[in-house]
Amino acid sequence: MKQLDTVSDQESRVRQAAEAAVAEARRQGASSAEAGASVNVGLSVNVRKGEVETLEHHRGQSLSISVYLGHRKGSASSSDLSGDAIRDAVGAALAIARHTSEDECAGLADPERMAREIPDLDLYHPWDLSPEAAIELATECEAAALAVDKRITNSEGAAVNTFGGFSAYANSHGFCGLKRGTRHSLNCSVIAEDDNGMQRDYAYTVSRVPDQLDSARKIGEEAAERTLRRLSGRKLDTREAPVLFAADISRGLLGSFINAISGGALYRRSSFLLDSLETQVFPDAIHIFEAPHLRQALGSAAFDNEGVATRERDIVADGVVKGYVLGSYSGCKLGMPTTGNAGGVHNLRIDPTGGDLPSLLAEMGTGLYATELIGHGINPVTGDYSRGASGFWVENGEIQYPVEEITIAGNLKDMFRRLLAVGSDIDQRGNYHTGSWLIEAMTIAGE
């Protein structure tokens, strides 16, 4: 992926566009305004059965502007960063604001909460990857998977993606903050077949730094091995048993918790964790926190989408909810200050309380090791949880056979309280960093 001109040129471009939009909004009569501008470039390659299926170059830019007339808000966007386009976008936003109703919580975040010191988090590592080299990587990855075993009979392909970009956020408090970042990934998905049918699985690697990606061969072989172990899956009869969620799907449980304590769900009274501040939700050993300033991490940010400084903070300590996840609008609705989470959390982490995966399997003894979830059977209001699943049946701490076509069910409140251990097998391939979760008991519905 070729770099966008120079870093300084692109940063200047997005800064000037964001600041120009704010200045134009004030000139046209807005009482306050905020704007974001971005430019990005990328390359995506997909290879299947040794042939290139898609090869895409991405190059884009965008501008968004929100204007306020007192407590009336209007927003507009554009893919053009020119002066004329900025004037038109501001005019459109003001036209919308004049027709919206008053909302006492509409406005900018408090000026004293703006980020004043913006550390270098080392998030920008462009990959000078030619299309030919990307095709070679994807081809190598898929070939490695197909070579593992003759039961690997088909492929859904391998893909290489690389993206980089620059963005700026400005508002009429005089704040303007810049972000730069890259994201690179490699993935592969294959199909295996035996006398009992076909199965598919995948593997992937992702990082801001290209040198930190796993090798193409490793990803291909991992995809094949994950697929092969699912062959000859069995069904289970309905029972109640412990469930061990693999680390990569445990992120979903952590995400359900964060959604339940996020401002939008709370002020709308549509969460199963209403009024949970300073209440016990998890066992005593559980510690969940944000670490927004980790160098090179995928979720790192010095400020949120409103320019508010981010900081490391506890969300759960000793199992007790210590803070919600709020932007300035939802905070106002709840009578609370923003927590610097407009746009979401940043590098959410949960400390391990148990050992590695073999240790957790041994602790579980007999139960289900879930490795894939299907469907979206989560009720955010009640916490009722029901998902299709596949994985492995475990006895005496040892995997016995793969299982499929089952459903696991419970209630998230009960599941959080019955969290026996969080593994040390932490998956950091994203914004949520967690190991495997061992839940004391859930209903497993099968035959």
Question: Mean of the pLDDT values across residues 47-65?
Answer: 97
Whether the pLDDT of residue 3 is over 60: the answer is no
Interatomic CA distance for residues 416 and 422, integer angstroms: 11
Q: According to the model, what pLDDT value does residue 270 have?
A: 97
Whether the pLDDT of residue 26 is over 60: the answer is yes
Contact criterion met (CB below 8 Å) for 417 and 428 = no
Whether the pLDDT of residue 346 is over 90: the answer is yes
Question: Mean of the pLDDT values across residues 41-60?
Answer: 97
Question: Mean of the pLDDT values across residues 84-95?
Answer: 98
Looking at every residue in the chain, the average pLDDT score rounds to 97
Own/partner long-range contacts of 125-130 (Cβ < 8 Å, ≥24 apart): 125/182, 125/208, 125/209, 125/210, 125/296, 126/1, 126/3, 126/164, 126/182, 127/1, 127/162, 127/164, 127/182, 127/184, 127/210, 128/1, 128/2, 128/3, 129/1, 129/43, 129/160, 129/162, 129/210
Helix 131-146 to helix 216-228 angle, to the nearest 10 degrees? 30
Of residues 256, 255, 242, 270, the one with CA closest to residue 361:
242
Q: According to the model, what pLDDT value does residue 7 have?
A: 80
Q: According to the model, what pLDDT value does residue 406 have?
A: 97
Interatomic CA distance for residues 160 and 436, integer angstroms: 27
Q: 208: how many CB neighbours lie within 10 A of its CB?
A: 21
Q: 60: how many CB neighbours lie within 10 A of its CB?
A: 11
What structural domains and CATH numbers belong to the chain? 7-228 (3.30.2290.10), 233-447 (no CATH)
Q: 396: how many CB neighbours lie within 10 A of its CB?
A: 9
Tell me 318's DSSP state.
T
Six token digits for residue 228: 């092969």
Question: Mean of the pLDDT values across residues 342-353?
Answer: 98
Amino acid at 430: G
Percent of the chain residues past pLDDT 70, beyond the cut: 99
Contact criterion met (CB below 8 Å) for 81 and 63 = yes
Tens digit of pLDDT for each residue in 367-397?
Answer: 999 999 998 899 999 999 999 999 999 999 9
Interatomic CA distance for residues 185 and 25, integer angstroms: 39
- 3-state DSSP assignment of residue 321: strand
pLDDT tier, 267 (very low <50, low <70, confident <90, very high otherwise): very high
Q: 377: how many CB neighbours lie within 10 A of its CB?
A: 14
Six token digits for residue 354: 């148990």
Of residues 353, 434, 392, the one with CA closest to residue 241:
392
Distance, CA of 156 to chain centre: 23
Q: According to the model, what pLDDT value does residue 198 have?
A: 96
Kind plus residue range of the DSSP H or E element containing 177:
strand 176-194
Whether the pLDDT of residue 249 is over 60: the answer is yes
Of residues 279, 276, 438, the one with CA closest to residue 369:
438
DSSP string over 196-255: TEEEEEEEEEEESSGGGSPPHHHHHHHHHHHHHTTTT-B---SEEEEEEE-HHHHHHHHH
Of residues 39, 96, 95, 86, the one with CA closest to residue 65:
86
Q: According to the model, what pLDDT value does residue 8 have?
A: 84
SS3 content of the chain, % helix, strand, coil (to 5): 25, 40, 35
Whether the pLDDT of residue 4 is over 70: the answer is no
pLDDT tier, 5 (very low <50, low <70, confident <90, very high otherwise): low
Interatomic CA distance for residues 116 and 383, integer angstroms: 39
Tens digit of pLDDT for each residue in 165-215?
Answer: 999 999 999 999 999 999 999 999 999 999 999 999 999 999 999 999 999
Angstrom distances, CA of residue 290 to CA of 117, 221, 399, 422, 435 = 18, 34, 34, 17, 16
Question: Mean of the pLDDT values across residues 223-242?
Answer: 97
Question: Mean of the pLDDT values across residues 15-44?
Answer: 98
CA end-to-end span of the chain: 51
